[in-house]
Amino acid sequence: MTPVPGPHLSLDDVDAWLAGALGAAELEHLEQCTACHDRVFAEREIVGQLATLPRWSPAPGFADRVMQAVTIPDPFALRALRETPRRLLRSRRTAGMAAGLGVLLLGSMAWSIGWTLAHPDALASIGSWLVSEAAQAAWLGLRGVASNLIEQPWYGAARDLLDHPWRLALASALATLAYAGGVLALRRLLTVPTTQVAHASA
C-alpha cells in the first residue's frame, strides 16, 4: 500500500479548500487520502445546507422593547442611605439620638483640634517617641534576621566563597549558564511546532 503523502488536512485546510485556496501539497494529499476526501465533502455538504437556511432578523423596535422590560436593581447601600434620614426623623427619640451622636462627634473633633494647637510640644515629644520606638524595633528585627542568617549551615560556605573572588566569579558564571539554559529550554518548549500532527481518527 502506497503511503499518503503529507499530514492530514487541518480545519484551516478544509476552510481553504472550501474557498478554493488550498495549496498544491494539500491538494495532492486530498486526492490520495480517503479520510480527508470524505471529510471535506461532508464539510461542503454541511456548509451548503447552512447556506440554504433562511436568515432571520429581529423585528423593528425589538431592542427598545427589551430595554423597557429590563429593570436595574437598586443597590441596597444607596437605598439604605436614602431611607436613613427618614428613619432618623421618624420619632423624637431617634432624632434626639442622632443629634446627640452628631454633637458628640463634632465636639470630639473640636477638642482634638484645640488640644493639638494648644500642646505642640507634647505632640512633638509623642511623635519623637514613636519614631525612636519604631527605629529600635526595626534594629532588633534586623539583628534577629542577621543572627538567624549566621546560624544557617550554608553560611560558612557562602562566606568562604565571598572571601575568594575567583570562586565567586566561577559561581556567578555557572549560575548565569544555568539560567540561560533554562530560558532556552523553556523557549523550546513554548515554540509552536511547524509540522502538523495527524488526526487521531486517521
| pLDDT tens digit sequence for 43-102 | 888 888 888 888 777 788 888 888 888 877 666 666 666 667 777 677 778 778 888 888
pLDDT at position 152 is 82
- Kindly tell me the burial class for residue 161, based on how many C-beta atoms sit within 10 Å of its own C-beta (0-12, 13-18, 19 or more): middle
pLDDT at position 99 is 84
What are φ and ψ of residue 58, in 5° steps?
Answer: -65, 150
- Residue 180 reports pLDDT greater than 50: yes
What are φ and ψ of residue 194, in 5° steps?
Answer: -85, -25
Kind plus residue range of the DSSP H or E element containing 63: helix 62-69
Mean pLDDT to the nearest integer, 107-136: 87
pTM of the model: 0.28
- Distance from C-alpha of 102 to C-alpha of 98, rounded to nearest angstrom: 6
30 pLDDT band (50/70/90 cuts)? confident
11 pLDDT band (50/70/90 cuts)? confident
Domain-wise residue ranges, the chain: 11-52
Mean pLDDT to the nearest integer, 103-118: 88
5 secondary structure, DSSP code: S
- Distance from C-alpha of 15 to C-alpha of 22, rounded to nearest angstrom: 8
Site of grid cell 505642640: 120
158 secondary structure, DSSP code: H
Nearby residues of 43 by Cβ (< 8 Å), 6 or more positions away: 14, 18
